[in-house]
Amino acid sequence: MSEILHNCDVRDITTFHISAKAACVACYDSIEELEQLLADTTLPRPVKHLGQGSNMLFTRDFPGTILISRINERDIDHATDDSVIVAASAGIVMDHLCRDLAALGIWGLENLSGIPGTVGASAVQNVGAYGVEAGEHIARVDAIDTVTGSHCRFDHDMMQFGYRHSIFKTPQARDRYIITKVYFRLTTRPTPRLDYANLQTIVGDNPTATDMRRAVITIRDTKLPDPATTGSAGSFFKNPVITCEHFQKIEAICPDTKVPHFIVGDNAVKVPAAWLIDKAGCKTMTQGGASLWPTQPLVIVNTDGTATADDILTLEHRIIDAVNSRFAITLTPEVEHL
């Protein structure tokens, strides 16, 4: 049965753990219940769907209804030889899926271990870590169109996956489609993705998918705050992509340092935002209850649980200004602001 709560604090349904009031929060346990909620004209509008609220900053009270899926269904189809299609409900916690598939010897999602958020959000956001992006394994998504009420299907090529981007983040589709199921194309053939930094050193030769998962979690633990104890929304900014000419200017500004970077296209260089933030002298900045995580300054944290949305917004703008004045790069937030 759907559970409908009125006048709720979003503190406990977002990973930043920052207070704001939502007029209504409705949790559902089946697609039929979701359809009933969408058809219920007594519920306050607009409607916003959340997963674990792990990429979300409520900057003010929300006058509408927040929908949350509690559907936890998963179907594994061993299609042909070593290829596997896993159909997972959008509300499943992504890390639980990564854990279970690695234990079953199903490869593909192990490098995404430890990322907060749900399966549905992994498609919206095209979450990525340690050399893998969810979108490269997503074959198909089922969704409900909240405008027409119809069920629809998006095949891989329709979803415009890019760096932290999909069609579900475009103005036309954002909040219009509610993802109900994600179909991942995976494999039972051992395919460790070891290109990221010291993964190879940690796992050694012939790792299992669970070895890969453990190594990724070990690296995450050394760099990122523990979501169980420290509120954050993961990387707050995207890593910017600049021209080669701009990159050379940055090298000239920092002649004594090797500037970390990745060539991502013709005349396109990605520079880690964490490095820019560090070199712009922002690492020790604080604003009320907000600060930057010492080992990964790309993550803004709710230091001691007292941060307000204004603290985060002010700190965000101070960081953007500092990086802009030093490097002439305008950082873009990755975290959704509502």
- Residue 181 exposed, middle or buried by CB count within 10 Å (0-12, 13-18, 19+): buried
Q: Which of 126, 291, 296, 302 binds ligand EPU (CB under 6 A)?
A: 296
199 interacts with ligand EPU by CB under 6 A = no
Please count the other Cβ atoms lying within 10 Å of the Cβ belonging to residue 194.
Answer: 17
User: By rule CB under 6 A, what string of x and - marks binding of each residue 256-275 to ligand EPU?
Assistant: ----x-----------x-xx
Q: Active-site positions?
A: 164, 235, 334
In the bound complex, what is the minimum distance in angstroms from residue 334's beta carbon to ligand EPU? 5
The closest of 128, 114, 145 to 239, measured between CA atoms, is: 128
DSSP string, 6-75: EEEEGGGGSTT----EEEEEEEESSHHHHHHHHH-TTS-SSEEEESS-TTEE--S-EEEEEEEE----EE
Q: What angle do CA 93, 98, 104 make, to 5 degrees?
A: 130
Q: Which of 298, 307, 315, 329 binds ligand EPU (CB under 6 A)?
A: 298
Q: Which of 24, 25, 66, 129 binds ligand EPU (CB under 6 A)?
A: 129
16 interacts with ligand EPU by CB under 6 A = no
Question: Near ligand EPU by CB under 6 A, which window of 140-148, 173-181, 232-240, 305-313?
Answer: 232-240
Report how far residue 74's alpha carbon sits from residue 154's, in angstroms, rounded to the nearest whole number: 19
Q: Which of 33, 110, 142, 334 binds ligand EPU (CB under 6 A)?
A: 334
Pull the structure tokens for residue 27.
């949790």
Q: Which of 48, 165, 214, 238 binds ligand EPU (CB under 6 A)?
A: 238
278 interacts with ligand EPU by CB under 6 A = yes
Residue 80 C-alpha from the chain's centroid: 31
3-state DSSP call for residue 309? helix
In the bound complex, what is the minimum distance in angstroms from residue 295's beta carbon to ligand EPU? 6
Give 32's contacts (C-beta < 8 A, 6+ positions apart).
none
Q: Which of 297, 302, 309, 331 binds ligand EPU (CB under 6 A)?
A: 297
Report how far residue 162's alpha carbon sits from residue 246's, in angstroms, rounded to the nearest whole number: 22
- Residue number of the CB atom closest to ligand EPU: 234
Q: With respect to ligand EPU, which residue has the nearer C-beta, 69 or 239?
A: 239
Question: Near ligand EPU by CB under 6 A, which window of 75-83, 135-143, 242-250, 291-299?
Answer: 291-299
Q: Which of 192, 234, 240, 333 binds ligand EPU (CB under 6 A)?
A: 234
Residues across the chain: 338
Strand order in the sheet with 241-242: 241-242, 268-270, 262-265
Q: With respect to ligand EPU, which residue has the nearer C-beta, 37 or 212?
A: 212
Question: Site residues (CB under 6 A) for ligand EPU?
Answer: 129-130, 223, 234-235, 238-239, 260, 272, 274-275, 278, 296-298, 334
